[in-house]
Amino acid sequence: MKNFLADLHIHTTLSPCGDLDMSPANIVDLASERGLDIIGITDHNSTRHCAIIRSMAEKKGIMVLCGAEVTTKEEVHCLAFFETTDALNAFQEFLDENLPDILNVPEIFGYQVQCDENENIIYEEKKLLISAINKSLEEVETFVHSHCGLFIPAHFDKLKNSIISQLGFLPAGLKADALEISGKTPVAKLAETHRDLLKYTILRSSDAHFPDAIGSAATQFYISAPSFSEVRMALKGEMGRRVLI
């Protein structure tokens, strides 16, 4: 086994707050240049860029965790990842059914476009993807785990759209596979005020919306090879696998 470098929170041109330089080709090229072995594609309430980025990344030896950053009814951001295409498609249907019918205004929120490998625009999402879906934190977690996915509340340390900012506490019995923190916030400092934090595996990710941010915060996975099952075992600390931040 050895360490593999992962940034599990990367947005693309599909996220309205994402830079239009965050095309699949640019993301894959920059991830390769910066030594990332595993990346997570996590557009707001959409999985539509995952398949093409996974296909392109495989050619450069990069494993892609496919999923989305969901905004729950409480406006908590959570990362959700799935191993199979069927599970990912089921999750996209779940998001489509529960995303409110609010139209995006590109001039205000930004464009929401899907690109092919040659950076041609092939789809534009009309609904505003940064809206909260009509499902609670618990309901999203239940759906994700019912499809054998990974459920990771995002940027725990942020003052907006985190569990702490929205709820003020970590819910008792929260069924999270990990908690994400951003940047270089010391875990020990966070644990001083949120002792329950230490019950969970902690990840660092960039939450990259711009090219320069890709890989700026990352996590080491000590695993035998980059794969969904190995990542899951590392999050659980099983069979010698582990996470290092």
The answer to whether residue 79 scores a pLDDT higher than 90 is: yes
Residue 224 — very low, low, confident or very high, per pLDDT cuts 50/70/90?
very high
Residue 182 — very low, low, confident or very high, per pLDDT cuts 50/70/90?
confident
Closest among 201, 109, 97 to 139, alpha carbons compared = 97
Q: Are 210 and 216 in contact (CB under 8 A)?
A: no
- The mean predicted confidence, pLDDT, of the chain is 95
What pTM, to 2 d.p., does this model score?
A: 0.96
**What pLDDT, on the 0 to 100 scale, is given for residue 125?**
95
The answer to whether residue 191 scores a pLDDT higher than 90 is: no
Residue 198 — very low, low, confident or very high, per pLDDT cuts 50/70/90?
confident
pLDDT digits (tens, 9 = 90+) for 10-21: 999 999 987 889
Residue-by-residue DSSP string for 158-224: -SSSSHHHHHSSPPTT---S-EEEETT--HHHHHHH-GGGGGS-EEEE--BSSGGGTTSS-EEEEES
To the nearest 5 percent, what fractions of the chain are helix, strand and coil?
30, 25, 45
The answer to whether residue 184 scores a pLDDT higher than 80 is: no
d(C-alpha 150, C-alpha 148), whole Å: 7
Sign of the C-alpha dihedral, residues 175, 51, 39, 68?
A: negative
The answer to whether residue 71 scores a pLDDT higher than 90 is: yes
The residue ranges of DSSP E strands in 89-157, in sequence order, are 113-115, 121-124, 150-153
**What pLDDT, on the 0 to 100 scale, is given for residue 120?**
93
Q: Are 93 and 68 in contact (CB under 8 A)?
A: no
pLDDT digits (tens, 9 = 90+) for 30-66: 999 999 999 999 999 999 999 999 999 999 999 999 9
Q: Are 176 and 152 in contact (CB under 8 A)?
A: yes
The answer to whether residue 243 scores a pLDDT higher than 90 is: yes
Residue 234 — very low, low, confident or very high, per pLDDT cuts 50/70/90?
very high
**What pLDDT, on the 0 to 100 scale, is given for residue 127?**
97
In the chain, pLDDT over 90 holds for what percent of residues? 87
Residues 1-29, mean pLDDT to the nearest whole number: 95
Q: Are 92 and 143 in contact (CB under 8 A)?
A: no
Residues 82-103, mean pLDDT to the nearest whole number: 98
The answer to whether residue 196 scores a pLDDT higher than 90 is: no
